[in-house]
Amino acid sequence: MDSTIDIHPVSLPGDSVRELLRAASETDGVDAFSEQFLAALGDARLKHTHLLAESDGQPVGLAALAPDGSAELVVDPAWRRRGIGRALAERVRAENPKAGLWAHGNLDGAKALGERLGLRVVRELLVMEITGADLERASEVDIPEGFRETSYRDAVDASGREAVEDAWLQANNEAFSWHPEQGGWDLERLHRAMEASWFDPAGVRLLYEGEKLAGFHWTKRHPDGTGEVYVVGLGSDYRGRGLGDPLMRIGLNYLVEQGSERVELYVESDNGPAVQRYEDLGFLTAQRHVVYSQ
């Protein structure tokens, strides 16, 4: 690594690295940091460890390590091929030898770094998308008899915030008991997620059987109008009853009504049944994000 580069811990990098991240995104065609890692740049509650690489006070790279052992890093495109990425990755692994390094898009540089460090891909996350006539068809929904669909906003107006959020958390944690990021949520974690600037209380679609919550479809809209299947889940009592399809369609219908002409989602590549369901709806794989570890 260039001897002029200094790598040191910082508490909250915040705006000091925004330009670096923007430049990397424009060069790579994919964001180096995911939503949670971006939020942690200015939110100490997320308890991320940040390692900043600087040259004469100018940020040229950044690595972030989350409490769960996941990590992300970025190097300014103008400063690449100088060993900064490897040095940041080694510092992360010194902090946590079992850290998993995310490589969004799994670009050639990430593949080469993983090989040099003797790491392998241990997880793959697919980005799938749907557009055009396929999206129009997938947004056609028929609510099963005995069920009703509403929004988080309207449900809170009718039943109160505490009751709605308790049921939402139960459904979420039952659906994602196995998931490293989405499982085991509590009210503090839910409320923190709802602080996102894009959060739309009408965009959380809830499926009820009587007064019991069967499942939820939390949608997201990006600044360019792209919709996202942010989180969708069914409670334990409602699995295997054919409700996954209408629950998906409820959220897609909302996004289309809001003007989204493209919708994306993220799904683990080894979740074969889910990938197949999304393909049956018309989704195609657009990108692959992977985790490198030992």
pLDDT at site 62: 98
Q: What is the pLDDT along the chain (294 residues), one digit of tens a residue?
A: 777 899 999 999 988 899 999 999 999 999 999 999 999 999 999 999 999 999 999 999 999 999 999 999 999 999 999 999 999 999 999 999 999 999 999 999 999 999 999 999 999 999 999 999 999 999 999 999 999 999 999 999 999 999 999 999 999 999 998 877 888 899 999 999 999 999 999 999 999 999 999 999 999 999 999 999 999 999 999 999 999 999 999 999 999 999 999 999 999 999 999 999 999 999 999 999 999 999
- DSSP readout, 132-193? HHHHHHHT---PPTTEEEEEHHHHHHHH-HHHHHHHHHHHHHHHTTT-TTTSS--HHHHHHH
Residue 286: CA count within 13 A, CB half-sphere: 15
- Cα–Cα distance measured from residue 161 to residue 221, given in angstroms and rounded to the nearest whole number: 23
Secondary structure of residue 85 in the 3-state scheme? helix
Burial of 142 (0-12, 13-18, 19+ CB in 10 A): exposed
Out of 2.102.10.10, 3.40.630.30, 3.20.20.70, 1.20.1250.20, the CATH code matching 5-118 is: 3.40.630.30
Backbone CA torsion sign across 129, 132, 133, 138 = positive
- Is-contact 65 71, C-beta < 8 A? yes
Binding residues for acetyl-CoA: 73-75, 232-234, 239-245, 271-276
- The CATH homologous superfamily for domain 128-287 is Gcn5-related N-acetyltransferase (GNAT) (3.40.630.30)
pLDDT at site 71: 98
| Residue ranges of domains in the chain | 5-118, 128-287
- Cα–Cα distance measured from residue 226 to residue 275, given in angstroms and rounded to the nearest whole number: 20
pLDDT at site 179: 79
128-287 matches 5-118 in CATH topology: yes
Binding residues: 35, 73-75, 181, 220, 228, 232-234, 239-245, 266, 271-276
Query: What phi, psi does 107 have (nearest 5°)?
Result: -70, 165
3-state helix, strand, coil in the chain (%, to 5): 40, 30, 30
Task: Report the 10 Å Cβ neighbour count for 128.
Answer: 21
pTM for this model (two decimals): 0.90
